[in-house]
Amino acid sequence: MKFISLRMKISVILGALLGLICILGAGFRFGFLGNSLHFLALWYNRFLMGVVIGMATSRKRRVALVRGALLGLIVSLAFYLTSGLEDHITFLVGGVYGIIIDYLSSRHSDFVNNIVNRLRGKNLGG
């Protein structure tokens, strides 16, 4: 039984990695000292973005661009509201990260599934 799809795994990993990049960007803008809780919340927001985008079912790449932007902005809105609507960059980057996560998870899950299906179709026993 398949509990976690390949798309979900890719999306969560990308969300976590992009969260680390977000921490670096925020650290350079706000300073690294004394902002650890802020950075944790920012990383967690990007991680959740990966989870939410990973739950999407369609893997069409054209849909992924619009859906990724919308889901990225919706998830980022929670963090944006807690900033008092002042951290515009983090909010907008959330839309860009949503596109990246959705597009790459759609593209690579198809790519990996095609390879697996080809390997299963071949007679590997000789």
Answer yes or no: is 92 within a domain.
yes
Q: How distant, in Å, are the alpha carbons of 36, 67, 102 from that of 33?
A: 7, 35, 32
Q: What's the rounded mean pLDDT across residues 5-33?
A: 94
pLDDT at 53 over 60: yes
- Collect contacts of 23-31 with beta carbons under 8 A, ≥24 apart: 25/89, 25/93, 26/90, 29/89
pLDDT tens digits for range 7-17: 899 999 999 99
Answer yes or no: is 123 within a domain.
no
pTM for this one?
A: 0.84
Q: How many domains does the chain have?
A: 1
Count CB neighbours of 112 within 10 A.
14
Answer yes or no: is 109 within a domain.
yes
Answer yes or no: is 81 within a domain.
yes
pLDDT at 33 over 90: yes
Note down the domain range covering 58.
Answer: 6-30+39-114
Q: What's the rounded mean pLDDT across residues 39-43?
A: 97
pLDDT at 124 over 60: no
Answer yes or no: is 83 within a domain.
yes
